A and B are shown apart, each in its own frame.
Chain A
Amino acid sequence: MIGQIIKKQFLLLWRSPVELLLLLALPVVLIVILGSALGNFMDGDSPGMHAKVAMIEHSSEREQFEKFKRDFETDLGLTEDTVANIEKRLPIQTLKTIFHTKEISKMMELEEISVEEKSKILQEDTYTAVIEVPEDFSYQYLSYILLDRKQAPQLQLYENEEKQLSAGAIQSIIKSFQQQLTLESLLEEKGMDQNEAALSTISVEGQQKNLEQSKPITAKEYYTVGMAVMNALFVASTIGLIAFREKQSFVFARIILANMSKWTYFTGVLCSAVIFSLIQLFVIYGFAWLIFDVSWDDLTAFILITIAFSISVGGITVLLTAISYRMHSETVTNLFSSVIVSILALVGGSFFPIGENVQVIELIGNFTPNGSGMSAYLAILRGESIGKIGNHILFLSVFGFAMIMIAAMTFPKRGRMV
């Protein structure tokens, strides 16, 4: 019996090519447009991006410099000029200067954070990256350069795995930092040759949290996911509307009069939405795979998240259906497709990585079904393991079932079928 409802639902969609086109072809067109128009901004430097970087210093660089001067100034026989030169090019200070240059500061904001706050900020999502400067870093660095110590000190870099898009930018800053740190003039004065100078560049050991094999996301990939999750939401309003019109036209009454349980019907609507959402996602991703080469290395993770996301779409569908049945009006469903989807898509990051700057929005974004689905898809594209997207699968399933429960409770009671 449920099968009859589903079959009919598909026949109806098949017979309304405009709706079908909107659901299947529109997202593909949007991916093409957004993916190429915004490709440069996504893949290169981005005017829209604004990342926050935290820096934790375990001790003051100035004090370390003074200490180094006290310990070795006479041993090394450094001239006053040289000391002044070194002082101007202390490594951490140089790094900060880079972050404060005009170009970089447009994209990134460096914040100095006290040591006590370290564990707290590593837990949160506020920062795209955290640079930790170990105790004695500058002292060690000076020793390494000027005393030919074997071991170069290392900076610790924590990258936020959720914010892959800015990661490339930070890496390029670090690169430029390394180049500036050759301390050419300083070394020239000390009489070393340029080859050695190149060797003595600072080594920054980036510790990417759980991110060893991570790949950057391209604009096409980003918008494939963004448009797919956004357009799947329209499945909910489309099928919800079909269901409401069935009530309005008394078709639903007829179904009830044929002794079909309203729960059979309800389940039919739910299953239609889940199945159609699955088909839609597979069509969009299939298309993106063929045209844009957006491929999924971890197919299991991809399928799991697609199913979980479709369940949540099904949940929204039956909730819209139940509310419109209850209110005798399709207002809610229309509001959903005209306004709410756009808000969800924006907050969820379908148009641009909105959550990168504002932590609250990112948090809210991950509590929208499309935002959560999107985060999970992007994580898979970055090459993360299933374990990493487990919380998204859980959230989407719980969200879907919660919607279904609320819908079931809202659905008209017996004796109020028209």
Chain B
Amino acid sequence: MLELVNISKKFKQTYAVKNMNMFMERGEIVGLLGPNGAGKSTAISIMSSLVEPTAGEVYFDNRSILKNPTSFRKVAGIVPQEIALYEDLTAEENLRFFGRIYQIKGKQLQKRIEDVLQIIGLADRKKEVVKTYSGGMKRRLNIGVALLHEPELLIMDEPTVGIDAQSRKYILETVKQLNKEMNVTILYTSHYMEEVEYLCNRIYIMDKGNLIAAGTKEEINRILSGEKSIVIKASHLTNPFIYELKTYPLVNSVDVMDKQITVMVSKEVNLFKDLIAMADEANIELISVNIKTPTLEDVFLHLTGRALRD
């Protein structure tokens, strides 16, 4: 349905997106995961025909959207990262304005507005101006506007940043529902891996403009499938202790964050006793030691040496 081929976007000296390849099939929910500044929004602007890439092509049903954006725009709905609404207008007025811009008229427009308000759960608040809404309500309306023209493809750029848990849950359910009941193909962008893990069949992971991993959830988890992670929390850390860990023969990798260390080891390795001994020797008081099977977060950590969320 949608295909990105060798997309690059350069701003002055630096690449915001570099050599990105990606595809989406009809009916999928695809996740695009990456920390802030990874290049997700830039990639979305390109694949939604707003920005021309420095190099590469974007195809929608095998036709270049760069050369012919019109037919693509008719069936694509974009939910921008920004709250792209008029804060001084009501939900209904916003929907009516954008609906008219989409050339929907009269009774049909009225019906679409009602339907969308129903989907995003704002029917009872439709007469209130947007600036009185909570962050979550604004996010929902932001999605609603992109649904007016009944798109086949919905591209969502971080639709859940900075909102309460309840709205977040509502949005996640709505996304699932849109995909299931209306067969909308969805690209879901986030820096929350649990959202992506919950919604998506296939996942792309981006960092610093590069795709660093791609595949189904299982495939990606398999990157670390032979391993498990040990998360150590300590009152303080010393360099000799970290050095000791890093050079310890059975340890595959060590990541240090604040007073927390994540150590990756092979599944069968039991490091527990050795760890206690090492900590004792270094005069370090351990607060907790957790052993987990790896998550997307760990994959990201493993691939980049950094946590997803900062």
Binding between chains A and B: yes
Interface flag for A209 (CB, 8 Å): no
Bound together, the chains give a CA A130 to CA B73 distance in angstroms of 69
Bound together, the chains give a CA A67 to CA B198 distance in angstroms of 115
Interface flag for B88 (CB, 8 Å): yes
**Which of B31-39, B74-82, B208-216, B289-297 binds A?**
B74-82
Q: Interface size (B, Cβ < 8 Å)?
A: 31
Q: Which residues from A are CB-within-8-Å of B76?
A: 257
Q: Which residues from B are CB-within-8-Å of A290?
A: none
Chain A: minimal CB distance from B123 (Å): 21
Say yes or no: B100 contacts A4, CB within 8 Å: yes
Tell me which of A1, A15, A249, A417 contacts B129 (CB under 8 A).
A15
Among B80, B101, B145, residue most surrounded by chain A Cβ atoms (within 10 Å): B101
Residue of A nearest to B71 (CB): A259
Bound together, the chains give a CA A250 to CA B97 distance in angstroms of 15
Say yes or no: B70 contacts A257, CB within 8 Å: no
Residue of B nearest to A3 (CB): B100
Q: A1-B101, A258-B102, A417-B51 are in contact. Are A251 and B86 (CB under 8 A)?
A: yes
Bound together, the chains give a CA A251 to CA B78 distance in angstroms of 11
Q: Interface size class for chain A?
A: 20 to 34
Q: Which residues from B are CB-within-8-Å of A253?
A: 45, 50, 78, 80, 84
Chain B: minimal CB distance from A4 (Å): 5
Chain A: minimal CB distance from B73 (Å): 5
Tell me which of B45, B49, B78, B129 contacts A254 (CB under 8 A).
B78
Q: Which residues from A are CB-within-8-Å of B80?
A: 250, 253-254
Bound together, the chains give a CA A415 to CA B46 distance in angstroms of 9
Bound together, the chains give a CA A260 to CA B104 distance in angstroms of 13
Q: Which residues from A are CB-within-8-Å of B78?
A: 253-254, 257
Interface flag for A418 (CB, 8 Å): yes
Q: Which residues from A are CB-within-8-Å of B97?
A: 4, 8
Q: A249-B84, A253-B50, A253-B80 are in contact. Are A11 and B73 (CB under 8 A)?
A: no
Bound together, the chains give a CA A12 to CA B88 distance in angstroms of 7
Tell me which of B49, B66, B81, B129 contacts A257 (CB under 8 A).
B49
Q: Which residues from B are CB-within-8-Å of A11?
A: 89, 93
Tell me the A217-251 residues at the B interface (CB within 8 Å).
Answer: 248-251
Interface flag for A16 (CB, 8 Å): yes
Produce 1/0 per residue, B83-107, CB < 8 A to A: 1111011000100011011110000
Say yes or no: B70 contacts A259, CB within 8 Å: yes
Say yes or no: A416 contacts B52, CB within 8 Å: yes
Bound together, the chains give a CA A414 to CA B70 distance in angstroms of 13
Say yes or no: A415 contacts B52, CB within 8 Å: yes
Bound together, the chains give a CA A249 to CA B103 distance in angstroms of 22
Chain A: minimal CB distance from B40 (Å): 14
Chain A: minimal CB distance from B210 (Å): 22
Say yes or no: A257 contacts B48, CB within 8 Å: yes
Say yes or no: A250 contacts B82, CB within 8 Å: yes
Q: Which residues from B are CB-within-8-Å of A12?
A: 86, 88-89
Say yes or no: B83 contacts A249, CB within 8 Å: yes
Bound together, the chains give a CA A249 to CA B85 distance in angstroms of 7
Interface flag for A360 (CB, 8 Å): no
Residue of A nearest to B69 (CB): A259
Tell me the B209-247 residues at the A interface (CB within 8 Å).
Answer: none
Q: Which residues from A are CB-within-8-Å of B73?
A: 257-259
Residue of B nearest to A416 (CB): B51
Q: Which residues from A are CB-within-8-Å of B82?
A: 248-250
Bound together, the chains give a CA A225 to CA B74 distance in angstroms of 49
Bound together, the chains give a CA A255 to CA B148 distance in angstroms of 13
Q: Which residues from A are CB-within-8-Å of B88?
A: 12, 15-16
Tell me which of B51, B84, B85, B93 contacts A415 (CB under 8 A).
B51
Q: Which residues from A are CB-within-8-Å of B102?
A: 258-259
Produce 1/0 per residue, A156-183, CB < 8 A to B: 0000000000000000000000000000
Bound together, the chains give a CA A259 to CA B149 distance in angstroms of 12
Chain B: minimal CB distance from A212 (Å): 53
Chain A: minimal CB distance from B100 (Å): 5
A-B contact pairs, 6 of them (CB 8 A): A4-B100, A8-B86, A254-B145, A257-B48, A257-B50, A259-B73
Given contacts A8-B97, A250-B82, A416-B51, 7 further A-B pairs with CB under 8 A are A4-B101, A15-B88, A16-B88, A253-B50, A253-B78, A254-B98, A257-B48
6 tightest Cβ-Cβ pairs between the two chains A and B: A415-B52, A250-B84, A15-B88, A250-B80, A258-B101, A250-B82
> Which residues of B pack against A, CB within 8 Å?
45, 48-52, 66, 70, 73-74, 76, 78, 80-86, 88-89, 93, 97-98, 100-103, 129, 145, 149
